[in-house]
Amino acid sequence: MNYIIFDLEWNQCPYGKARENKKLPFEIIEIGAIKLNQDLAVVDSLHLLVRPKIYRSLHYRTREVVQMREADLYNKGIPFPEAARRFLSWAGGDSVFCTWGESDLTELQRNLKFYNMLRLLPGPVQFYDVQKLYAIAYDPERERRSLEYAIDSLLIEKHREFHSAFSDAWYTTAVMQRIDDKTIRENISIDVYQNPKKKTDEIYMVYADHSMFISREFPNKEALMQDSEIRAVHCCFCGKRAHRKIQWFSAAAKRSQCLAVCAAHGQLTGEVRIRHSDSGGVYGIKTIRAAQTEEEAELQERRRVLREKRRKKRQN
C-alpha cells in the first residue's frame, strides 16, 4: 500500500458569486502530489497544471495566493479530464489519500462530478487528514493549525514558497513523516461528499476516544431522527447499549444531542450533525464520546432554554 499526499490549488469566478457556475464554484488549476511507501519514504512525485475552462481569468484572491500566472496555465496546463486521469492512474488503486485538512478531497470529487468522472473515485472515500493527525500528535489543544504553523513548530526548513500545490504537498509530507505510526493507523478519516445512499452502505467507526456512525440518506430531518440506528446509543468503549438519560433534542437546525449512561463506562454524550446531500436528501453523522463532568447540567439547561423559546414562539 502507498500513501498519496496531495494538494490542490483552485480558482473561483473572478466576477463574483452572482456569475459563478453553481455546480463548480471552485475550479482546480494545479495538482501537486507525493507518493510514499508503507514506511513513509518518498518513491515518486507528480505535478500538473490544469488549463482553466470555466473561469478563464484568475480571481484577484487567487492571484494573491498562488505561485503562477495565467500564461503558465494556458501554455503548460492540460484539460482537467486528462489531468484527473493521469493523477488517479499514477496514484494507483492500492493507495490511500492524505491531505492537509478536508477541503482538497471534496473539491477533487466536485470537479470529477462536474466532468461526469466521479466513477473513477467511488466513495465515501477513506483518507488521512494530516492536519488532524498533527493536532493529535503535537497539539495539546487539538486545534486545527495552518500548514506553516506545523512546519515552524516541528523546526522543518522552509525552502519552498507556500500556496503552491507541489510545495504544500512536500510540506505536508514532511509533517506526515514525523507522526508516529500508531497515531496514523488509529485515526483514518472519511470524506462524505459521496454519502451512503442505502443501509448496506452505512459506516460505523470506532476510535480511541469516540465512535462515529454515518447514516444512509433520508428525505428530511424528521425521518432521519426517527431511524432506530440513529437514535440508538452504544458505548464507544465497550459497544454495549447505553440508557438514554436525556433524550435526543434539536440543539440547532443541523444538530441534535443526547446524554446516555453505560453501566461500565459512565455518562456518554451523543451528537448527530445533519448534512444535506447533493441529491436533496439528508444524512446524519453521529458521534458518541465520554461526557465531561459538567455536560449533563449544560445539556439540561440547553434543552430547557430551547423548549422555552419554542413555547413562546407558539404563543406568539
Domain membership flag for residue 173: yes
**Burial label, 140 (beta-carbon count in 10 A; 0-12, 13-18, 19+):** exposed
Domain membership flag for residue 64: yes
Q: What is the pLDDT of residue 73?
A: 86
Residues 89, 130 share a domain: yes
Domain end, chosen from 160, 185, 210, is at: 185
Domain membership flag for residue 190: no
pLDDT single digits (tens) 101-143:
999 999 999 999 999 999 999 999 999 999 999 999 999 888 9
Which tops the pLDDT comparison, 17 or 271? Answer: 271
How far CA 74 is from CA of 77, 82, 136, 183, 222, in Å, comes to: 5, 14, 41, 42, 49
Residues 293, 229 share a domain: yes
pLDDT single digits (tens) 165-193:
999 999 999 999 999 999 999 999 999 99
Domain membership flag for residue 232: yes
- pLDDT-derived band at 163, boundaries 50, 70, 90: confident
Residues 26, 66 share a domain: yes
- pLDDT-derived band at 69, boundaries 50, 70, 90: confident
Domain membership flag for residue 7: yes
Domain membership flag for residue 115: yes
Residues 146, 8 share a domain: yes
Number of domains in the chain: 2
- pLDDT-derived band at 253, boundaries 50, 70, 90: confident
pLDDT single digits (tens) 27-47:
999 999 999 999 999 999 999
pLDDT at 306 over 90: no
Domain end, chosen from 162, 185, 208, is at: 185
Residues 206, 181 share a domain: no
Range of the domain at 249: 197-315
Domain membership flag for residue 301: yes
Residues 50, 124 share a domain: yes
CATH number of the domain residue 89 falls in: 3.30.420.10
pLDDT at 68 over 80: no
Given a contact cutoff of 8 angstroms between Cβ atoms, the answer to whether 143 and 131 are in contact is no
Domain end, chosen from 126, 154, 185, is at: 185
Q: Mean pLDDT in the chain?
A: 93
Domain membership flag for residue 16: yes
Residues 153, 41 share a domain: yes
Closest CA to 33 of 11, 10, 9, 4: 4
**pTM as predicted:** 0.88
